[in-house]
Chains A and B, each alone.
Chain A
Amino acid sequence: DQQVKQNSPSLSVQEGRISILNCDYTNSMFDYFLWYKKYPAEGPTFLISISSIKDKNEDGRFTVFLNKSAKHLSLHIVPSQPGDSAVYFCAATRTGTASKLTFGTGTRLQVTL
């Protein structure tokens, strides 16, 4: 049972435009959500996170939105740059459970010139 789902395996966006990556979860006990970026042959790199007490968190070009009623979160990248081309993983956890993360299957973002 996939508790965290990323239904779009890939996404292509033009440089300068907005990239929107989506993530859905089924476990209502999750209360902390994270996005990681992964380049080939490297480990995942932490991008941004959000607690369930918020509905938005922003860090530079990256904004994460959380819709608890829909059990949905999204990552917005504005403006998209060629260096953003990578695989993006959504992850979720329940606070106080040793920070065990449950990951989605990833979305491959390609930013074209």
Chain B
Amino acid sequence: DAGITQSPRHKVTETGTPVTLRCHQTENHRYMYWYRQDPGHGLRLIHYSYGVKDTDKGEVSDGYSVSRSKTEDFLLTLESATSSQTSVYFCAVQGAFGTDTQYFGPGTRLTVL
């Protein structure tokens, strides 16, 4: 347990509405990540952050934006949700500095109708 919580844990929304998912960590990890998990694709990186206000794109960043105004919080925003963004979203943190191991939160299941 790397002290990661995600909120909400479940959300149902409609196409075209904005959605923000929150990842909160309590152990001062520098690197944070957002992944989505879909059948047949495993987990795919959406965006990541390497410090406050420092973020970069991952493999599947289209339609998503992120923000990190505090070390402990990493927000993922869907500006205008689409049905293709129905997925399970996982936040992760890098373990000890200099290692490549990541530790994951419990996930948010998002359904876009």
Contact = CB atoms under 8 A, between A and B. Distances in A.
Contact residues on A (Cβ < 8 Å of other chain), bracket? 20 to 34
A64 interface: no
A25 interface: no
Contact of B42 (A34, A89, A95, A98): A89
A89 B104 contact: no
Interface in B18-73: 31, 33, 35, 40-45, 48, 50, 56, 58-59
A4 B42 CA distance: 10
A49 B35 CA distance: 20
Q: Which 5 A-B pairs have the closest CB atoms?
A: A43-B104, A103-B42, A99-B100, A103-B43, A105-B42
Contact residues on B (Cβ < 8 Å of other chain), bracket? 20 to 34
B3 to A, nearest CB: 13
Given A98-B48, A99-B31, A49 B101 contact: yes
B94 A99 contact: yes
Interface in A82-113: 89, 91, 93, 95, 98-106
Given A43-B90, A98-B56, A103 B44 contact: yes
B106 A43 contact: yes
Contact of B48 (A4, A41, A91, A100): A100
Interface of B: 4, 31, 33, 35, 40-45, 48, 50, 56, 58-59, 90, 92, 94, 99-107
Interface of A: 4, 6, 32, 34, 36, 41-46, 49, 89, 91, 93, 95, 98-106
B41 A42 contact: no
B102 A98 contact: no
Given A43-B90, A95-B100, A100-B48, 19 more contacts: A32-B100, A42-B106, A42-B107, A43-B106, A44-B43, A44-B104, A45-B104, A46-B101, A49-B101, A89-B43, A91-B43, A99-B31, A99-B99, A99-B102, A100-B45, A101-B33, A101-B43, A101-B45, A105-B41
